[in-house]
């Protein structure tokens, strides 16, 4: 099965029957699966496979008469960086990203990125070297129990002890990573398996009947006319329909049919953090992000809608913190998803479909066209426009200090919704989600469910390799970028024209915001004003020819234009207002009606927001 969930072909492989080493088989399967980049750090237990990559590239280069590598190995500063680069590559391209690391600490350094990919449904394959089969369980040098460690963090984990199953396991790993609800697959390969020699078959996968039966059921579960009729009956009864789109729309390659459904019937769209880019944020009926730090007008639209259409979204705690109060006025809720476990998990729905999202949305469009369905949602469009006008994002535009929102607005004016934006995690992440435009899917790369600091820079590197002709910008925070600061050198080593912005407020900004709101201003371990890091000197030391610190508000437009237009890697540190906050904000355990909007965005409920206390989820 490939990415389109169709059965694999049975054509004979040109190398079928050739005797290869295990490591050569690994490399050939990577090539067969369409892998164009490997992100990884070498070490003893994975050396045979790294050598096989080297030999493969040398052979292909010699055959072609060129010096370019056929299967480039991108070497990061740290294995976590390698796995996040693979994740950034996957998020930006829709293809499976690949990381290759050694045993022990090499494998354990990827755990955070693997869990991050599982949480956000990102397809990567992590190949780990392992100590020889006979040494497993003896606490050998650089041994780690990868199966046990990764078991709860990955979509699936393989430990290959039978070299005859190496090839089929490799192919099955890619199948599992990319099909159904995508996710990370880890393959633990002992060194003796890599050194084994055997016949290359060129085809075949493991017998995983349960998984394939589920995939077959998904393919066969086509939206029926009767089911489509029920959907349009609810839409026909509605006066205020709203699409709630999540990351599953992007992962399921369903952005185009979703946009077509919204445009054809005039249905406004809100997206989750992971769904940003599913619809063009510059469109009039786009309400941007909903949820804890969503736009006020998106959240109020959810409160006001009478038919909620959830597509590839899971009603998580950042969106539906109080499930009973979420979309409480909706007469009907519909839910389309690829994962049956998400149906009725948090919020009871009146209509659902479990299957391939793009095909389901196309079926709805076809049924609507066939039956000539029409509806007039003009008053709802007017209401949505008023919400966007009355409760627009805003901030202190007269402040003498540099406001982070202003910085992002200035960048956005130049990029016009066409740049790939990667972020770390924290306030800067939310500001970027709120103030950037995204005209297409796969332009927004961020760690959603896990909220992993240090994600932004390596993800941007992976995205740049996936899209060498696109502008890639990492919007980061001073605390978040510290987590993987070593990857600055990776940017310049490979001459990547990535633009890195550090919004420096000298601390863990989001933590500080919560401490000010809910912990009476006790800044426990979040104030980093005494830290001595000179980010500009660090960037210069790593080879950035453009490395600038921006401290004067009047210089912002000029410096940002120079920064974006610089032809190579560029680094910009911006000293921002330390007290700048992320608003709107819906506290844990609170409803959208209790949303805090700060001093510059109006609220519908004029009463004082309730204090959610100090025990709520971050």
Q: Which 3 state secondary structure label does DSSP give 436?
A: coil
Q: Is-catalytic flag, 289?
A: no
Measured torsion, CA atoms of residues 358, 83, 31, 422, in degrees rounded to the nearest 10: 50
Catalytic residue among 79, 175, 342, 487: 79
Residue 10: what pLDDT?
60
Catalytic residue among 1, 39, 150, 191: 191
| Phi and psi torsions of 258, nearest 5° | -65, -45
User: Does residue 299 surpass a pLDDT of 70?
Assistant: yes
Q: Give pLDDT tens digits for 116-158.
A: 999 999 999 999 999 999 999 999 999 999 999 999 999 999 9
Q: At 2, is the pLDDT very low, low, confident or very high (cuts 50, 70, 90)?
A: very low
197 DSSP β-pair partners: 21
Mean pLDDT computed over every residue of the chain? 95
Alpha carbon distance 531, 517 (integer Å): 24
Mean pLDDT of 232-249: 98
Classify each residue of 451-465 as buried b or exposed e, where b means 16 or more C-beta atoms within 10 Å of its C-beta.
bbbbbbbbbbbbbbb
476 DSSP β-pair partners: 502
Strands (E), 209-348: 241-245, 269-271, 286-289, 307-311, 332-337
Worst-scoring range by mean pLDDT, 130-144, 210-224, 453-467, 512-526? 512-526
| Nearest by Cα to 262 from 274, 238, 244 | 244
Q: Are 492 and 457 in contact (CB under 8 A)?
A: no
Q: Is-catalytic flag, 142?
A: yes
Enter the pTM of the model: 0.95
Mean pLDDT of 595-609: 85
Q: At 272, is the pLDDT very low, low, confident or very high (cuts 50, 70, 90)?
A: very high
Residue 440: what pLDDT?
98
Structure tokens at 143: 């041994």
- DSSP letters spanning 137-168: TTT-TT---HHHHHTTTSSEEEE---GGGHHH
Residue 571: what pLDDT?
98
Q: Are 187 and 173 in contact (CB under 8 A)?
A: yes
Residue 4: what pLDDT?
46
Worst-scoring range by mean pLDDT, 6-20, 85-99, 201-215, 310-324? 6-20
Degrees (nearest 5) of the Cα angle 270, 274, 275? 40
Alpha carbon distance 54, 50 (integer Å): 6
Question: H or E stretch including 223?
Answer: none
Q: Are 85 and 97 in contact (CB under 8 A)?
A: yes
Strand pairing class (19-21; 197-199): antiparallel
Alpha carbon distance 196, 137 (integer Å): 21
Residue 70: what pLDDT?
85
Structure tokens at 58: 């040398």
Catalytic residue among 510, 571, 573, 595: 510
Alpha carbon distance 349, 572 (integer Å): 47
Catalytic residue among 141, 199, 413, 610: 141
Alpha carbon distance 474, 460 (integer Å): 6
Length of the chain: 618
Q: Are 236 and 302 in contact (CB under 8 A)?
A: no
Mean pLDDT of 373-392: 97
Q: Give pLDDT tens digits for 142-201.
A: 999 999 999 999 999 999 999 999 999 999 999 999 999 999 999 999 999 999 999 999
Q: Is-catalytic flag, 147?
A: no
Q: Is-catalytic flag, 191?
A: yes
Cα Rg for the chain, rounded, in angstroms? 25
Alpha carbon distance 570, 565 (integer Å): 9
**What domains lie within the chain, and their CATH numbers?**
19-208 (3.40.50.970), 221-390 (3.40.50.1220), 404-575 (3.40.50.970)
Per residue, what are the HEC states of 484-524? CCCHHHHHHHCCCCCEEEEEECCECHHHHHHHHHHCCCCCC
Q: Are 418 and 442 in contact (CB under 8 A)?
A: no
What residue spans of 130-269 are helical by DSSP H? 146-150, 166-178, 191-195, 209-220, 225-237, 247-251, 255-265
Catalytic residue among 54, 60, 142, 540: 142
Question: H or E stretch including 123?
Answer: none
Angle between helices 166-178 and 22-32 (to 10 degrees): 30
Q: Give pLDDT tens digits for 68-121.
A: 568 999 999 999 999 999 999 999 999 999 999 999 999 999 999 999 999 999
Secondary structure letter of residue 224 according to DSSP: P
User: Does residue 609 surpass a pLDDT of 90?
Assistant: no
Residue 617: what pLDDT?
45
């Amino acid at each position: 099965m490939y990415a389109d969930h169709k059965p694999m072909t049975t054509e004979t492989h040109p190398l079928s029957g050739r005797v290869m080493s295990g490591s050569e088989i690994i490399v050939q399967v990577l090539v067969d699966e369409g892998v164009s980049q490997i992100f990884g750090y070498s070490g003893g237990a994975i050396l045979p496979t790294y050598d096989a990559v080297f030999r493969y590239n040398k052979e292909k280069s010699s055959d072609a008469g060129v010096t370019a590598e056929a299967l480039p190995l991108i070497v990061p500063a740290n294995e976590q960086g390698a796995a996040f680069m693979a994740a950034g590559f996957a998020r930006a391209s829709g293809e499976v990203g690949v990381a290759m690391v050694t045993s022990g600490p090499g494998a354990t350094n990827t755990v955070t990125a693997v869990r991050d990919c599982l949480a956000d449904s990102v397809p990567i394959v992590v190949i780990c070297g392992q100590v020889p089969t006979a040494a497993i369980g003896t606490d050998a040098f650089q041994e780690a129990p990868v199966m046990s460690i990764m078991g709860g963090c990955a979509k699936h984990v393989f430990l290959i002890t039978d070299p005859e199953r190496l090839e089929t396991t490799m192919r099955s790993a890619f199948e599992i990573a990319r099909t159904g609800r995508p996710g990370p697959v880890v393959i633990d390969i002992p060194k003796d398996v890599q050194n084994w020699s055997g016949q290359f078959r060129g085809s075949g996968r493991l017998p995983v009947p349960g998984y394939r039966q589920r995939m077959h059921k998904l393919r066969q579960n086509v939206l029926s006319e009767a089911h489509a009729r029920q959907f349009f009956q609810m839409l026909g009864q509605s006066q205020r329909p709203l699409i709630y789109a999540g990351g599953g729309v992007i992962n399921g390659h369903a952005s185009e049919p979703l946009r077509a459904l919204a445009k054809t019937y005039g249905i406004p769209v809100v997206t989750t953090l992971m769904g940003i880019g599913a619809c063009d944020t510059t469109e009039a009926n786009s309400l941007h992000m909903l949820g804890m730090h969503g736009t006020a007008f998106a959240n109020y639209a959810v409160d006001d809608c009478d038919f909620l259409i959830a597509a590839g979204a899971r009603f998580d705690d950042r969106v539906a913190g109080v499930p009973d109060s979420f979309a409480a006025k909706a007469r009907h809720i519909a839910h389309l998803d690829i994962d049956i476990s998400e149906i009725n998990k948090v919020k009871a729905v009146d209509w659902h479909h479990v299957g391939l999202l793009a095909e389901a949305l196309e079926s709805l469009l076809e049924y609507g066209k066939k039956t000539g369905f029409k509806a007039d949602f003009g008053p709802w469009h007017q209401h949505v426009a008023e919400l966007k006008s009355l409760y627009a994002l805003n901030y202190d535009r007269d402040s003498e200090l540099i406001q982070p929102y202003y910085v992002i607005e200035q960048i956005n004016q130049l990029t016009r919704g066409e740049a790939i934006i990667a972020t770390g995690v924290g306030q800067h992440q939310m500001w970027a989600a709120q103030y950037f435009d995204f005209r297409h899917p796969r332009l927004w790369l961020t760690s959603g469910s896990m909220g992993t600091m240090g994600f932004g820079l390596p993800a941007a590197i992976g995205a740049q390799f996936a899209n060498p002709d696109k502008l890639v910008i990492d919007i980061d925070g001073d605390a978040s970028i510290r987590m993987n600061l070593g990857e600055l050198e990776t940017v310049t080593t490979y001459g990547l024209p990535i633009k890195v912005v550090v919004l420096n407020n000298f601390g863990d900004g989001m933590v500080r915001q919560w401490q000010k709101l809910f912990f009476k201003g006790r800044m426990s371990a979040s104030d980093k004003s005494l830290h001595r890091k000179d980010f500009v000197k660090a960037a210069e030391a790593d080879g950035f020819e453009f490395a600038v610190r921006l401290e004067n508000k009047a210089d912002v437009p000029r410096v940002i234009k120079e920064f974006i237009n610089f032809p190579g890697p560029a680094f910009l540190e911006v000293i921002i207002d330390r007290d700048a906050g992320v608003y709107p904000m819906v506290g844990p355990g609170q409803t959208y009606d209790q949303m805090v909007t700060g001093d510059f965005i109006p609220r519908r409920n004029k009463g004082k927001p309730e204090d959610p206390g100090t025990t709520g989820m971050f």
